[in-house]
Structure 1
Amino acid sequence: MISRRGFVLGGAAAGTLALSPSAAGPMPRSLDTLPADAPVRPFSLLAKEMEVPLLGAGKPATRHVCAYNGTPLLRVRARRGTRLKVDFRNQLPDPTTVHWHGVRVPYLSDGVAPITQEPIPPGASFAYDVPLPDPGFYFFHPHCDETGQVGRGLVALLLVDDPAEEKVPFDLEHVIVVKDWRLGEDGQFLDMFTNDGAATAGTFGTVRATNGRVLPPRVAAPAYGDVRVRAIVADSTRVIDFGCDTEDAAILACDGQAIPPVRLDKVPDGVWRMGPAQRLDVHVRMPGPGAEVKIYDYRTAEPYLLTTLVAVDKGKKKRPFKPLALPIAKEVPQADLTRAKRLDFLVQTAAGAIAVAPPLPPGDPLAKALIDSLCVGDKTFWAINRNSWGAGADLRLPPPLDELHDGESYVLSIANVTKHPHPMHLHGHIFRVLSSSRKKGVPQYLADTVLVEPNESVEIAFKATSGDWVFHCHILEHMDSGLMGWFRIT
């Protein structure tokens, strides 16, 4: 069989990614999301292992930490409307890819093996075309051996700035990365994938950390000032209840997409529940000099401190709290709910590696595609409408969950009939969360990942974009043990 990369992407392994389909068969068109004359920013990206003192000074350094460009939890900033031309090199000992989470990229740059590319072997290079049409808070990570590589730190943040936001007068921006480490007493990594964890709520880290460090940050901020807190759950497993000990706080954006401000004390229980891959922008008004604002994960038995903001006198005066609204992006395609087609999906436990959706035609380039065994776990525990992603010895690519049509609108009902939460992520799209059977009083918002809790049904709506796009749980062991499917949009 001619590989998908050899047939479709041509010179990608040598550093050139083709962004239009060849005559390989009934492939969807790979659509750009910026004009051809958009500003281009070359970006060199290198993945490799490092040795890092994750447990702090005086403790054993951890070997085999994975990072981009030699910087754990790398942060990259770019302006909306920029096109990143990414020259990626893999210096890890194992194959990998790069997925641009939440970014509306052409699907042939989405980084999902074997649908959009083959895994990039050690020592090889790959070129990604990454247009940035929307402002917001995104991140990138591998989509092969994701449980292991993300577990060991291979995550980077991508902050896309909108010039219009420069008019919003924040005094400080503070980023919170929730990412635990799964370490033994010797400071070295334990197994990231366990059958017990994959079959339940996931395998948790043994060491909690914020921004890669065991000690939560203490950050000086102007007294009576305005702080933009940007939080991401970059962990493979953990679900948190984000909250803080002040009433002067408001949610400004979910998954990087601005919403009309919602005071945090007006949402249920005064917290925002976030699963792996979800992001949140919050405006915090600081108290008077010497006082502190503590930001917590309230989901644990004892609230876990994520960050302390310390008010420092900078001459600002006390004034009533009024949330600072971010400009609402207008470029995101919106579903037409009056004409949307409804699709129903069950997230469920699996009886084995099963696929019941209609198979692809024999002449389709993906009809005989195989999933690299390094990209998945060895057991199947989960399914979507009885369809499970390949795992273990069954490495056949399953057929698509459904075939959709470019430009048309869809409402997906996602019902979780399991005992565990599932943050469900749809690649290539920003969708509107319409409703929840359990979360009352939460306004509609845009997102790319939605947390669906046990015995909950959530409805999301989106306008379909051409491509082959995966839909999966972002508890990574769940994804690696079956809880992933894909849509073909033609």
Structure 2
Amino acid sequence: MISRRGLLAGTAALGAGAALGAVAAPALARMASGAAAADGLAPDAPTRRLSLFAGEMDAPLLGPGKPLTKRFCAYNGTPLMSWRAPQGTRLLVDFENRLPSATTVHWHGIRTQNAFDGVAPLTQKATPAGGTFHYEVPLLDAGFYFIHPHCDETGQVGRGLAGLLIVDDPKETAVFDLEHVVVVKDWRLGEDGQWLAPMSTDDGASTAGTFGTVRATNASTTPARVEAPAHGDVRVRLLVADSTRIIDFGSDAKDMALIACDGHALPPVHFDDLPDGVWRMGPAMRVDAHLRMPGPGEEAKLYDYRSAEPYLLATFVGVEAGQKAARPFRPQALRPCAAPQADLAHARTFDFTVQTAAGPTTLAPPLPDDDPLAKALVSSFCVGAKTFWAINRTSWAAGDDLRLPPPLARLNDGESCVFSMFNATKHAHPMHLHGHVFKVLSSNRKPKLPHFYGDTVLVEPNETVEIAFRAARGDWVFHCHILEHMDTGMMGWLEIA
């Protein structure tokens, strides 16, 4: 399933201007040269100082009466801890690593400054056991996001290290009777409740991934059963936090519509109008869906249909308390995506092929000696022992070659870009771009794919997907979010100056 190796506890709001703390040397060098962008918020934006720690604990992953799982990883001592804050807030995050090994914090989907993106060694040094790091995180976009490490992800995320972050839009006009979050995350456990070793296998890493042995939602093997007003409106937020599993999300309900992807609104699309009535999602992808409840005593069920038998994710039961009148279903539209838009008429196009690795793969010229990252080495703890994957015949560091590869592309701050991604492998790859919100323009295999905004898009075998975005300065990684694929080569980076 995942690598081989209080989310946020809010306190009183403080003024801006906290010290940067242990910002890594490469990031500082880039900042000094003017390569780090301002965070996009006004200097007097409201701030909130947060204490965040990563540590190990015991957790009842197999359910009541079953053995506890040791060495479960969590933020602030709470499995899949969640936290929310209003859009426009600047988070001042004091992070402490209480794990026995190094880690970082990546703010997945958040358009933050490059120095706080959490990628070792590109933006910071990995925070050692007992170490601290200070992050400054602007909440520029409303939506559904999450945090996770970006070092030994297969091991740490595989043992639970992930947290949820919901950013509320203070100007939102959509109204729901209930909000419910579903986190799809499996566990690689034995019958005694303890972690199976290894977490990553060569057979898994070189194919579709090493799957968990125990399916779960919201860290429980028992899907939630939730009461909601009959004929009422439920906002479902779903995250695939697994490092391997791809799902086909759908419902047996008569009325459900997709209203946001990766936290960003799209014109509502009824699930009946999607291919096969489902939305296919890979690791790290999120959706918001508007579910119209049936009548009193009736049920609406959410499923993963990408299984031999549909796998139940959650059940909603209509109750008379707060019951609404039956009425036509009109999905609620959220406010449009606020991220910078690409100018397609003047965009530069880049072609990328995701592929299997074959022998020496780093073909681009090395970084110049005077580049602050020229001598940066990737920690062997942060990556896999072997190389199986590549992007444009270039692989991320793995095994014994721990040199940082050259960038996949060099872009200019503010320019509009189109990435055309072709999957030349036999397996699907959810491709994630850090630091940006992109628009999905097209797919050669899914002509009716709705245009949507996101940070991760699934590219299936022999599929070409085009995305567009406006480049933001910094050094940003671009990788498959099947974590074993990333750990064994399918990651590169963009230099945007």
Assess same fold via TM > 0.5.
yes
Q: Report SS of the residue matched to 2:130.
A: coil
Q: 2:445 aligns with which of 428, 438, 442?
A: 438
1:413 aligns with 2:417: no
Matches within 5 A, 1:177-256: 177-190=183-196, 191-256=198-263
Give the TM-score taking structure 1 as reference length.
0.95
1:238-277 aligned within 5 A:
238-277=245-284
Corresponding residue for residue 472 of structure 1: 479
Map of 1:174 onto structure 2:
180
Give the residue type in structure 2 aligned to 1:122.
A
Q: What CA deviation, in whole Å up to 9, does each residue of 1:207-255 have, x standing for no partner?
A: 0000000000000010000000000000010000000002300000000
Q: Does 1:320 align with 2:344?
A: no
In the alignment, is the contact (CA less than 8 A) between 2:27 and 2:114 conserved in 1? no
Task: Provide the alpha-carbon RMSD of the alignment.
Answer: 1.5
Quote the offset at 1:28 in angstroms: 2.3
Match of 1:98 in 2: 105
| Residue among 144, 149, 152 paired with 1:137 | 144
Output the CA distance in 1 between the equivalents of 2:152 and 2:274.
36
Q: Establish whether residue 404 from structure 1 lines up as the match of residue 411 from structure 2.
A: yes
State how many pairs are aligned. 477
How much does 1:55 deviate?
Answer: 0.2
Rate the CA distance shift 1:369–1:20 in 2: closer, same or farther, 3 A: closer
- 2:318 aligned partner: 311
2:59 to 30, 40, 52: 52
The Cα shift of 1:328 comes to: 1.3
Distance in 2 (CA, whole Å) between partners of 1:353 and 1:58 is 51
Change (3 A) 1:199 1:283: same
For 1:30, what is the secondary structure of its paired residue?
coil
Q: Which residue does the alignment assign to 1:8?
A: none
- Structure 1, unpaired ranges of 5+: 1-10
> Counterpart of 1:359 in structure 2: which amino acid?
P
Name the SS of the counterpart of 2:235 in structure 1.
strand
Q: CA deviation at 1:24?
A: 8.4
Q: Are 2:182 and 2:313, in contact at CA under 8 Å, matched by a contact in 1? A: yes
Deviation at 1:434, TM superposition (A): 0.1
Conserved? CA contact 1:17–1:128, under 8 Å: no
CA distance in 2, matches of 1:221, 1:147: 36
How far is 1:134 from its partner? 0.6
1:148-159 maps to which residues of 2 (within 5 A)? 148-159=155-166
**Aligned-partner Cα distance in 1 for 2:369–2:26:** 24
SS at match of 2:484: helix
Q: Measure the CA separation in 1 of the matches of 2:25 and 2:330.
A: 48
TM-score (norm 2): 0.94
Bigger drift between 20-29 and 179-188 goes to 20-29
Tell me if structure 2 keeps the 8 A contact 1:389–1:484.
Answer: yes
Where do residues 373-388 of structure 1 align in structure 2 (5 Å cutoff)? 373-388=380-395
Cα distance in 1 between the residues matched to 2:185 and 2:81:
13
Supply the AA of the counterpart residue of 1:228.
R
Find the counterpart in structure 1 of residue 84 from structure 2: 77
Report if aligned partners of 1:409, 1:462 keep a CA contact under 8 Å in 2.
Answer: yes
Asked whether the 8 Å contact 2:24–2:124 carries over to 1, the reply is: no
Structure 1 22/368 Cα, relative in aligned 2: closer, same or farther at 3 Å?
closer
Change (3 A) 1:368 1:156: same
What percentage of aligned pairs have identical amino acids?
A: 65
- Please say if residues 228 and 283 of structure 1, whose CA atoms lie closer than 8 Å, have aligned partners that are also in contact: yes
- 1:3 alignment partner in structure 2: none
Instruction: In structure 1, give the amino acid aligned to 2:175.
Output: P
Q: How big is the shift at 1:31? A: 3.0
Mark the CA change 1:52 to 1:266 in structure 2 (over 3 Å): closer, same or farther: same
1:18 deviates by: 9.6
- Quick one: distance in 2 between partners of 1:16 and 1:199? 34
Which deviations, in whole Å up to 9, do the C-alpha atoms of 1:392-413 show, x marking residues without a partner?
A: 0110000000110000000000
Rounded to whole Å, the distance in 2 between the matches of 1:352 and 1:192 is: 25
**Displacement of 1:329:** 3.3
SS at match of 2:478: strand
Runs of 4+ in structure 1 deviating by more than 2 angstroms, as ranges, are 14-31
How big is each residue's C-alpha offset from its partner over 1:278-306, in whole Å with a ceiling of 9 and x where there is no partner?
00000000000000001000000100000
State the 1:360 CA deviation. Answer: 1.1
CA distance in 2, matches of 1:25, 1:84: 23
Q: CA deviation at 1:358?
A: 2.1
Contact 1:24 1:365 in 2 (8 A): no
1:357 is matched with 364
Give deviations 1:376-427, integer Å, cap 9, x for gaps.
0100000000000000011000000011000000000000000000000000
2:317 is aligned with what amino acid? V
Cα deviation, residue 25, structure 1: 7.8
